[in-house]
Amino acid sequence: MHLILFGAPGVGKGTQAKLISKNFGIPQISTGDMLRAAAKSKSELGRQAKKLMSKGELVPDDLMLNLIKERIQQPDCVKGFILDGFPRTIPQAEGLSQLMQEMQQPPFICIEIQVPEDVIIERLTSRKICENCGQDYNPKVKPVPSDGKCTVCGGNIVTRHDDNRETIKNRLQIYKSQTARVKQFYKERGKFYSVDGNTTVDKVYDQITNILK
């Protein structure tokens, strides 16, 4: 199964991708997590990405396509994978299509998770993540444990550098001006679905698995 989880920052793509990954046995590929790991390792890509991410800007398409190309050729991707946070621009979507053709892989199912903007802002301003594995924590759904350690891997739980009001505003603006049009790209190629993300994690998951059946 080759799945794209699509939607604005904070709609719950990462949370759903982790559940699908666990239950369907295919990897979650989060370009945001990959870039944060690169930034931590202080690689050349990481240094470039860190500056852009802290402002909520997009990392250039050629760098992103190289990153994805390398990742989807790994052996754990042979049965499929879930893209979370990619593609974010039309050139990324086009580049990905070409890559998939070259690799003789089937087309993607693209599922959009929809959440109203005021709910997104509330979620992002109260969100914390594990700096090691990327697990999300949120006061309403999954509060930070009293010891401040991730329940999945024991890593430190922190606030993302880009989860502040100003950067969130910019990320949402970029979503509207550049990423939202990717929706049309997949609509024109069929296999595009939308689910309501303004409900519980389980209910969003049920809607997604109903589509995948």
Beta bridge partners of 82: 3, 28
Establish if 88 lies at the interface with ligand AMP (CB under 6 A).
yes
Q: Which is nearer to ligand AMP, 130 or 206 (CB)?
A: 130
Q: Which of 18, 123, 128, 171 is catalytic?
A: 171
160 is catalytic: yes
Phi, psi at 29, each rounded to 5°? -115, 100
Establish if 95 lies at the interface with ligand AMP (CB under 6 A).
no
Establish if 9 lies at the interface with ligand AMP (CB under 6 A).
yes
- Calpha distance 3→150 (Å, rounded): 27
Q: Which of 18, 36, 88, 123 is catalytic?
A: 88
171 is catalytic: yes
Minimum CB distance to ligand AMP, residue 185 (Å): 14
Task: Decide if 124 contacts 136 (C-beta within 8 A).
Answer: no
- When binding is defined by CB under 6 A, the residue of 7, 12, 32, 95 that contacts ligand AMP is 32
Q: Tokens 């190629």, residue?
A: 189
Crossing angle for the helix pair 165-174 and 44-55, nearest 10 degrees? 100
Catalytic site positions? 13, 88, 127, 160, 171
